[in-house]
Amino acid sequence: MNTEPEFAHKIRHHLNLATDELGRKTADRLFEARQNALARQKTAGAQLSLAGVGHMAADVILPHARALVAIIGLVVGVAGVTTWNDFQKAAENAEIDSALLADDLPINAYLDKGFQAWLSEHSSQD
């Protein structure tokens, strides 16, 4: 009775015989496949070159490109809205300031209790 490795060794011998007898057409196809694979082989040298660095960066960044674009869009959007609000506020303040300076306050300003309090406070200080 053969042990497992002995039996396997005999099977291996027969399999190798069969492999040696592969047809010419199959051997040619395998050779062609090997050449194609070698033509596209990744080499360690490529990683060290400048192009390799770019390629590596592209490999890392490209899979997350969509998420990155979305995040950048969101950040730009938030920054845009904040800047726009600041401009609006500044314009409103400028309008009130110029009205105060021109002594041309709208009637609503005198109805504002806060404004009257501020006015009396400032006039008493003067």
Residues that bind other proteins (CB under 8 A): 2, 4-5, 7-12, 14-15, 17-23, 26-27, 29-30, 33-34, 36-38, 40-44, 47
Cβ of residue 62: shortest distance to other proteins, in angstroms? 15
Q: Do residues 37 and 29 make contact, with C-beta atoms less than 8 angstroms apart?
A: no
> Of the two residues 7 and 84, which places its CB atom closer to other proteins in the complex?
7
Provide the token pair at 49.
């070159």
Cβ of residue 61: shortest distance to other proteins, in angstroms? 18
| 41-47-50 Cα angle (round to 5) | 125
Cβ of residue 67: shortest distance to other proteins, in angstroms? 23
Q: What is the CA radius of gyration of the chain?
A: 41
> Of the two residues 3 and 108, which places its CB atom closer to other proteins in the complex?
3
